[in-house]
Amino acid sequence: MTGERVPTVPPTTPPPTTPPPTTRRADPARRDRIIDACLELIAETGVAGTSHRKVAARANVPLGSMTYHFTGMDELLRAAFTRFSDGVVAVFETRLAAAGTVEEARAAVVGIIDDDLLASPHELVLTHELYALAARNPEYRQITHRWMRRSRAALQRHFSPDTAAQLDALIEGLSIHRALDTEPRDPRQTVDAVARITGGSAAGSAAGVSG
């Protein structure tokens, strides 16, 4: 022993750990907001007036995040119109599922035409925009085909396949005519048309509507 003090070495402090970089803030509702914003813009300005930049601004999301959820505008439009058509046909199915008799089913069809489909100008515009796309693009025609298939299946709960197809065409046609007409139509015309196609009486269908 020489008596010399051995210098003490202070303990080393481990370097601070750096948290891994986050690629994006968790926002599970972002995709839904983008789709909703897209539908709002289409109803206001049409498909031609809808762009990635406008949708991002309406949804309050960064423009760059749009490509995380959708590869392009076409994919976004398909997702938006799929959501829209699914929502419309769900109301359709609910009305017809609640009908317990043929008369109630006739009344449900009248309600679909006069109340559900004509209640919202927003939905009418979206429907026509989808039709225009489907007329030119087979990919969008798949959306309308699925919509018609589900509508006819709901109608076939109460009517034959042929009658269901005729009613489906009546619903589409009267809705378009009512949307574009400049004068109000007598709602009894809808009751009469449904009765003629389904083989019932207008008086009986009117009773079902009022009941």
Q: For residue range 27-71, what is the model confidence (pLDDT) as tens digits?
A: 778 999 999 999 999 999 999 999 999 999 999 999 988 989 999
Give mean pLDDT, residues 77-104.
96
Q: How far is CA 100 from CA 158, 201, 206, in A?
A: 9, 18, 16
Q: Would you state the pLDDT for residue 179?
A: 75
| Segments in the chain forming alpha helices (H) | 30-45, 52-59, 66-69, 73-98, 102-111, 121-136, 138-155, 161-180, 188-198, 202-210
* Chosen domain end from 70, 103, 131: 70
Q: Is the pLDDT of residue 21 over 50?
A: no
Q: Would you state the pLDDT for residue 135?
A: 94
Give the range of the structural domain holding residue 56, as residue numbers without chain letter.
Answer: 27-70
Same domain, 150 and 63: no
Instruction: Residue 152: name the closest of 141, 140, 166, 139 by CA.
Output: 166
What are 108-159's pLDDT values in tens digits? Answer: 999 998 888 776 788 889 999 999 999 999 999 999 999 999 999 999 999 9
Instruction: Residue 58: name the closest of 68, 79, 43 by CA.
Output: 43
Same domain, 34 and 106: no
Same domain, 64 and 94: no
Please tell me the total number of residues recorded for the chain in this structure. 211
Q: Would you state the pLDDT for residue 198?
A: 94
Q: Is the pLDDT of residue 200 over 80?
A: no
Q: Would you state the pLDDT for residue 10?
A: 54
Q: Is the pLDDT of residue 202 over 70?
A: no
Q: Is the pLDDT of residue 79 over 90?
A: yes
Same domain, 62 and 136: no
Our CA angle for 90, 126, 46, nearest 5°, is 160
Q: Would you state the pLDDT for residue 84?
A: 96
* Chosen domain end from 70, 93, 126: 70
Average pLDDT, the chain: 85
Contact residues for 126 (Cβ-Cβ < 8 A; gap 6+): 39, 42, 43, 81, 84
Q: Is the pLDDT of residue 206 over 70?
A: no
Residue 6 lies in a domain: no
Same domain, 89 and 52: no
Same domain, 183 and 152: yes
